[in-house]
Amino acid sequence: MTPRERVEAALRGELANKVPVVAFADQLPRSAVERRLRNSGLCLVRRDPAVHRTVYTQVREQEVRWRDQGRAFVRHEVNTPVGALSEVEELGPDGTSWHVERLFKSPDDYQALRAMVDDQHYEPNYDEFLRVEAMVGPDFLLRPEIGYSPLHEIMYSIMGLERFAEEWATRRDEVLRLYDCLVANRRRLYPVVAASPALLVNYCGNVSPEVVGLKRFEEYYLPHYDEFAAAMHERGKLVSVHLDTNTWLFEEQIGVSQIDCIEAFTPPPVCDMSVAHARSVWHDKVLWVSLPSMSLAGPPAEVEAETRQLLREAASGIRFMLGFTELLPSAPWQEGLLTVMRTVNAVGQLPLSVAVSAA
């Protein structure tokens, strides 16, 4: 099997010849070690290109980029018929970015934000997706994403946590008017994405239970995951949610949801649910486990022992993948990743609990 075939088998709940190992392509440096990893079975995951394009009829956008004392910035300017909006991000050298200035600055911005969201429409970008998929070859998986769900978009992107908390407490009716606009917006997007050639699309993520809480998760998050998943399932497609955080509080809700894949699931000591427990309660979910970058920095014997323990807890290689979904440590990642690949290749496939113990 090719690396992509192995990943697709795991996503569909089929038996691959060994546990898939994946890494985000934009976070694994091109190098001789990266080539060795791909030759031994690693599948690189690209989160681009998008399978859709966003188009406006009345809103106009532009970007302004500049550097200041070696730091890179980009300003995104949005002009709507009822007002202008802008946000500024600082761009890190490793591909990360963070907000310096948010789109929402005062209650005067609600009308322009609703106008921006209402004017967003979506068109297919399928040809570009297929072109890139053919170009990159069989050891890549293209996994597009469609951003945050409506309330999370407001909380994490448009306002930021502190301002969201203030607006939720004092002007919740305005927040919910914007939320309703985003709900209608996403419903225009779902059918375009579901009809695309992509097998797996990620929707939302970084949902911290300490911030979101169980009630909001049940009321404002899960219904949108399920609605998008229903549209995707009608076309034989799958949905992941990037849950690289504590998940114990949401255990029951995730279990009954239509989510297919828990992407970037992070076991202890970083997060609060073990692989063994997740496998025992999420029987029909693909568990895409992310090894924390700090795990790769230890001696090879420790990396191998941790990898074997994760495989042992997985019990079965069906609906299970190991991956790396965060920035890697600057120096020791090479030997750590090579050790993970050697361990997975030595163990092989089912039943993992027996294979790991015997190896």
User: Do the Cβ atoms of 253 and 231 come closer than 8 Å?
Assistant: no
Q: What DSSP character marks residue 2?
A: -
What was the pLDDT predicted at 333? 83
The two beta strands, 200-205 and 238-242, are parallel
Mean pLDDT in consecutive groups of 10 residues from the start of the chain, 359 residues: 96 94 92 94 95 97 96 97 98 88 98 98 97 96 98 98 97 98 98 98 96 97 98 98 96 97 95 96 95 84 94 91 82 86 83 50
User: Residue 264 corresponds to which tokens in the numbers above?
Assistant: 């970037």
* CA 218-223-229 angle, 5° bins: 130
Across-strand partners of 64? 75
On the CB side of 124, how many CA atoms lie within 13 Å of its CA? 11
Phi, psi of 240 (to 5 degrees): -115, 155
What was the pLDDT predicted at 98? 92
User: Do the Cβ atoms of 87 and 148 come closer than 8 Å?
Assistant: no
What was the pLDDT predicted at 91? 95
88 CB contacts (<8 Å, ≥6 apart)? 73, 74, 75, 76, 99, 100, 101
What was the pLDDT predicted at 109? 98
Report the 10 Å Cβ neighbour count for 356. Answer: 21
How far is it, in rounded angstroms, from Cα 270 to Cα 285? 21
What was the pLDDT predicted at 33? 92
Burial of 273 (0-12, 13-18, 19+ CB in 10 A): buried
What was the pLDDT predicted at 330? 65
What was the pLDDT predicted at 352? 53
pTM: 0.94
Across-strand partners of 68? 71
How far is it, in rounded angstroms, from Cα 116 to Cα 109? 11
Distances (CA, A) of 52 to 128, 204, 260, 263: 10, 16, 21, 21
- Would you give the end-to-end CA distance of the chain in angstroms? 22
Burial of 52 (0-12, 13-18, 19+ CB in 10 A): buried
